[in-house]
Amino acid sequence: MSFYFHPDAETELSHAVAYYEELQKDLGLAFAQEIFDTIQRIIEFPEAWQPITTKSRRCLTNRFPFGVIYQIQEDAIVIIAVMHLHKEPNYWKNRK
């Protein structure tokens, strides 16, 4: 199964990578790897995580305070948000 990012989720990922890279060299790379490891878990077991809306689910990362919000489509996983867990929890709900 393939995956793709909602444009806003891609922007969130880029900003978070840049933020962590500013904090410490290679921490941004470690964050990006953690997100892609999380996406791999989602691809392998797309229905393993509880729904948080009728169409969306959230899988938490292991090392960073982030969750990957996603939807299961017929032939792909759509990454709706790369959400910091201390942010407004429903900010992403209007994304199509």
Domain limits, the chain: 2-84
pLDDT at 90: 74
Task: Give the number of residues written for the chain.
Answer: 96
CATH topology of domain 2-84: YaeB-like fold (3.30.2310)
> Does this model's pTM top 0.85?
yes
Residues 6+ apart with CB under 8 A from 74: none
pLDDT at 92: 76
Rounded Cα–Cα distance for residues 83 and 74 (Å) = 24
pLDDT tens string 26-39: 999 999 999 999 99
Mean of per-residue pLDDT scores for the chain? 94
pLDDT at 10: 97
Residue type, 39: I
Residue-by-residue DSSP string for 24-64: STTHHHHHHHHHHHHHHHHHHSTTSSPBSSSSEEEEE-SSS
- For residue 91, the SS3 value is coil
pLDDT tens string 74-91: 999 999 999 999 888 776
Distances (CA, A) of 4 to 23, 67, 80, 88: 27, 16, 9, 23
Rounded Cα–Cα distance for residues 32 and 16 (Å) = 9
pLDDT at 87: 80
- φ, ψ for residue 56 (rounded to 5)? -110, 150
pLDDT category of residue 23 using cuts at 50, 70 and 90: very high
